[in-house]
Structure 1
Amino acid sequence: MTTSLPDGPPFRADHVGSLLRPPSLLEARGRFAAGELDADGLRAVEDEAVDEVVRMQADVGLQTATDGEFRRASWHMDFIYAITGISKADQDLAVHFTNADGTLDFTPAGLRVDGPLSIDEPVFADDFAFLQGSVQPAQTAKLTIPSPSMVHYRGGAAAIDPAVYPDEDSFWDALSGAYRQQVAGIAAQGCRYLQLDDTSLAYLNDPAQRAELAGQGRDAEHQHERYIAQINAALTGRPEGLTVTTHMCRGNFRSSWVAEGGYDFVAEALFGGLEVDGFFLEFDDARSGGFEPLRFVPPGKRVVLGLVTTKRPELERKDDLKRRIEEAARYVPLEQLALSPQCGFSSTVEGNALTRDEQIAKLALVVETAAEVWG
């Protein structure tokens, strides 16, 4: 397995990936949907927005550069629908989010596995190529994609056509194989920093989520073990020099969340068994639990503490962040820790309830705090 160098990714000051879409991009998306702007016109607006957001990341001192996921409507479904063998289902999903003011429903389209799974050409290859050409020498381009778990968590066995895959083992073998194609293909393109975003492994810590899965006839008590095994299978034989991290959160849509609870339920199997180089974990409030599960993190892996929230505009106090880093260092050595916001700022096109300037202030705070803690 690739081992990240101390000055390589994930960096001491890092971020998850998605960023607030600028008004010009949102306006262009609206015009495109209305048939008033063609695909080339939309692409040109996206290109300009990506160039600007890459400069912004450099200006605040971040070494990681993403395209903000500006070309996507959703952090995961754009990727999943691009996998050969997966199509949109007729019926929408119902995902119930919570925020300080109450509840909020999100109804993305469902999915159907109705053909042999493959990724013959890397998903987002053209988008990542543009990012590679946009980054500055001091920046490392990161590609964020959903983990294989998300394909299954969204529908389970009920979403798999038994005429294509008569059992879940054959489905998983094919899905992990498709992901190996993605990993190899994007690495061949020059990607050196890949992140697998995964809400399922965090959701499974919530007893309410496990009860919901059990009610669907799923093995909620052991689902995380299958997911860990299949992510590892997807990363088998990954190229040298490719750092892979995973980000695990409890939902992020318009400043709302889905699940609650610490990482305790999955911690031992996850931290000890998932073959990635680093973990992006949200710890922005009491909803995320304590740092005790970090005692299972082995040497050589980096934990990126998501202490700065993307769900609220109020800026955290630097001294509070340093204190919490010290608390986490009681369970995993300080040299294995890093700092980031707890999630993306815009996991879907709508974005969270912050302004661009408030987003920049939070990213700058991460960079400044990390410099003072680690030098």
Structure 2
Amino acid sequence: MEKIIIPTEPIGSIPRPNDLITAQRNYRDGRINFDRLNDYYKRAIQITIEEMAATGSPVVTDGEQTKPSFLTYPIFTLFNEYYKFTPDCFSLKFADGHQRLLPRLIKAPFRYAVYAHTYIDAAKQITQLPIKQAVITPSALSMIYPRATIRGYSHEQFLDDLIAESERDIRQCLESGAHCVQLDFTEARFSLKIDPTGQLLRDFVQLNNRVLDRFGFQDQHRLGVHVCPGGDQDCYHSFEIDYLQVLPTLFDLHVGNFYLQLTSEPNHDRVLACIRKYMKPWHRIFVGVINPIDPIVETPEQVCARVLEAAKYIPVDQLGTTDDCGFSPFEDDQSTSREIAFKKIRARIEGTRMAQEQLMMP
């Protein structure tokens, strides 16, 4: 019988070590210089990759140890000069009341200061394993300049610059040898809180496709998109939005891989039935089998059962597994410990293997 392979991949972020978080605080307070902080960064990347490899993970990430957040990494060092926080900033509001803000662009042209290939280049010095890289969607960053407010800099000029920078970010990751590049599209579900008609979501997908269409079909098979209700500090920003309002439009994105939160959903069958209806024959569906927000570590047996459940709806040769979300998408999120994160990753890997063995049986 032909061997069945169910790939399994992390989403991206891993909680930062406590000594790194302390070092970041000391750097901001002027107690250490950047060279000293960089020593902590290098050590955090190394131990994160080593610990992830020790779980048996066939694909690794650097755990986003040096990203200030999944959302602002390209522009973070340009704050104050190019961006500022204003009362009308785009805000991700979470269920417990806390917010994550995007600043407003105050100086043209829009540009990136950091490109994600630098994270791959650093990780390649440590491991020979395939490296996955997450990048932010252009649709998320489009919210820093929702209308023209800078003299001589139109909104369409901004979008052209944004698309060019996003393409460069993705293309350099591929050229650096990324196993795959994942676009984090957490604003997809959130957009329906802003605009329940779904037009904003459709606009976001159209904007993202303006970037994705710059890549050939083969490269698109190395690209993917992740959606979830936005986990941060053990709560969500848009869990109350019906997932089935998001999924049909999501599958219009021109990528080959979809990393879809599922474990935390109360009704898996209705979500899986919707995925089956809208997925294309060339799509790989990585279903979430781990809930990063739940402090209880899943057992491999639980993961196995979730994979077998998904296999009733998704052809096995199009099925993969992942976590519902990253474990620490913002650098100061310490709601989940590193120990729990790696135990959950190990359970995902072992449970996926168990399910694969069962699916291979005559």
TM-score (norm 2): 0.86
Indicate yes or no: 2:202 matched with 1:230: no
Among residues 141, 149, 157, which one is paired with 1:161 in the alignment? 149
Distance 2:63 2:94 in 1: 23
Whole-Å separation in 1 of the counterparts to 2:111 and 2:152: 13
Mean Cα displacement is larger for which, 63-72 or 50-59?
63-72
State the match for 1:354 in structure 2: 336
Give unpaired runs (5+ residues) of structure 1. 1-5, 212-219
Q: Distance in 1 between matches of 2:182 and 2:25?
A: 29
Structure 2 residues not aligned, in runs of 5+:
358-362
State the Cα distance separating 1:225 from its structure 2 match: 2.0
Listed as ranges, the matches of 1:171-250 within 5 Å are 171-204=158-191, 206=192, 208-211=193-196, 220-238=197-215, 243-250=222-229
Q: Look up the equivalent residue of 2:160 and give its one-letter code.
A: D
Give yes or no for the alignment of 1:366 onto 2:345. Answer: no
Structure 1 residue 244 displacement after superposition: 1.0
Question: Is residue 94 of structure 2 the alignment partner of residue 104 of structure 1?
Answer: no
> Is the 2:182–2:226 contact (alpha carbons within 8 Å) kept by the matching residues of 1?
yes
Q: What is the rounded CA distance, in whole Å, between the counterparts of 2:17 and 2:108 in structure 1?
A: 37
Preserved contact between residue 91 and residue 109 of structure 1 (Cα < 8 Å): no
Question: Any idea what the Cα deviations from partners look like across 1:92-112, whole Å, max 9, x if unmatched?
Answer: 6443212xxxx2312435222
Q: Within the alignment, does 1:151 sit opposite 2:128 as a pair?
A: no
Q: State the partner residue of 1:128.
A: 120
Query: Which of 238, 244, 249 does residue 264 from structure 1 map onto?
Result: 244
**Contact persistence 2:106–2:150 (CA under 8 A):** no
> How far apart in 2 are the matches of 1:275 and 1:83?
30
Q: How many residues align?
A: 346
**After the TM superposition, which of the residue ranges 30-39 and 311-320 deviates more from structure 2?**
311-320
Which consecutive segments of 4 or more residues in structure 1 shift more than 6 A?
none
Q: Offset at 1:59? A: 0.5
- 8 Å CA contact 1:312, 1:353 repeated in 2: no
User: One-letter code of the match for 1:97?
Assistant: F
TM-score, structure 1 normalization? 0.83
Identity level (%):
19
Alpha-carbon offset, residue 337 of structure 1? 1.4
Q: CA deviation at 1:374?
A: 2.1
Question: CA distance change for structure 1 residues 285 and 183 in 2, over 3 Å: closer, same or farther?
Answer: closer
Q: Secondary structure at the match of 2:104?
A: strand
Counterpart of 1:72 (choices 49, 67, 70) is 67
Find the aligned partners of 2:40 and 2:94 in 1 and give their Cα distance: 31
Change beyond 3 A, Cα 1:280–1:82: farther
1:315 positional shift: 1.7
Quick check: 336-345 or 182-191, which moved more?
182-191
Structure 1 residues 323 and 237 mapped into 2: Cα distance closer, same or farther (>3 Å)? same
Q: Is the 8 A contact 1:19 1:345 kept in 2?
A: yes
CA distance in 2, matches of 1:319, 1:368: 9
What is the match of residue 272 of structure 2? Answer: 291
Q: Displacement, 1:287?
A: 5.8
The whole-number CA distance in structure 2 between the counterparts of 1:275 and 1:113 is 32
Structure 1, 351-360 or 68-77: larger mean CA deviation? 351-360
**Aligned AA for 2:103?**
G
Cα distance in 1 between the residues matched to 2:317 and 2:146: 42
Q: Secondary structure at the match of 1:286?
A: coil
Deviation at 1:343, TM superposition (A): 0.6
In the superposition, relative to structure 1, how do residues 155 and 30 fare at CA in structure 2: closer, same or farther (>3 Å)? Answer: closer
Distance 1:362 1:228, change over 3 A: same
| In 2, Cα distance between equivalents of 1:156 and 1:314 | 40
Q: Quick one: structure 1 residues 277 and 42, their matched pair in 2 at CA, closer, same or farther if it must change by over 3 Å?
A: same
